[in-house]
Amino acid sequence: MLTIYGVYRSRASRNYWMAGELGIPFKSVPVKQAYRLADPLADDAPINTKSASFLAVNPMGLIPAIEDDGLVLTESLANNLYLARKYGGPLAPADIREEALMGNWTMWAATEVEPHAVRIILTYDAGTETTDEGKAKVAAAVAALGKAFAFLEKHLDGRDHVVGDRFTVADLNVAEVFRYAMSQTQLFDQHPRVKAWLARCQSRPAFKAMMEARSQEAV
């Protein structure tokens, strides 16, 4: 059985959404980020990214990780590409061309979008978005994201999905990265195809179920 290590309020959300889309059984091990705990090494601390039991799974001490039939993977987006290939169905590549495109879009999101989008969400998580420093950080990230938003906007002209004619793991992976920028509504208003595409992705039952589980977790 698939095991997903990580709380829903982390990049593990991507793997929980994917498992939901695939309809496969899985075990959830809610590993918390150590920074959320006053003393992550205390005897009564919940399992976290500094716990010896988790470091035995991922010595890097980062979530998520997955284990499937003895295979351990530790990169959230790569985890999803693997799950798509293993379990097949419409989310998986139909041929080598689609496989290449799905990998390309995933890497694009990870390298060209996520670093900037993460700066936005971390600023909001810190509660500093209204300070001068916070505003400057967000503004710089938004400016950096403009090129990526424009690129995806053009790509979505005449198509509803990132790859092929259906929702795939490429949509899921890219959508989860773009979710980090959702506080910047002007970016989406300026790119209506991107806005509509993300709304379609997030209207799926498996996404809603993942977000509901996320909302039930302690902050």
Residue given tokens 């259906």 in the structure block: 166
Counting Cα atoms < 13 Å in the Cβ hemisphere of 64 gives: 27
pLDDT of residue 24: 97
Pinpoint the alpha helices (H) of 23-165: 52-55, 76-87, 96-108, 114-125, 132-155
pLDDT of residue 88: 93
CATH of residue 132's domain is 1.20.1050.10
Of the candidates 137, 139, 154, 159, the one whose C-alpha atom is nearest the C-alpha of residue 190 is: 154
pLDDT of residue 219: 75
Which of 88, 120, 146 is the endpoint of a domain? 88
Count of the separate structural domains present in the chain: 2
Token representation of residue 129: 């978005």
CATH of residue 67's domain is 3.40.30.10
Cα radius of gyration rounded to whole Å, the chain:
18
Residues of the chain short of pLDDT 70, as ranges, are none
- For 180, the domain range is 96-206
Q: What's the pTM?
A: 0.96
How far, in Å, CA of 193 to CA of 154, rounded?
Answer: 8
Strand pairing category for 2-5 and 65-68: antiparallel
pLDDT of residue 13: 98
Instruction: Quick: pLDDT tens for 30-86.
Output: 999 999 999 999 999 999 999 999 999 999 999 999 999 999 999 999 999 999 999
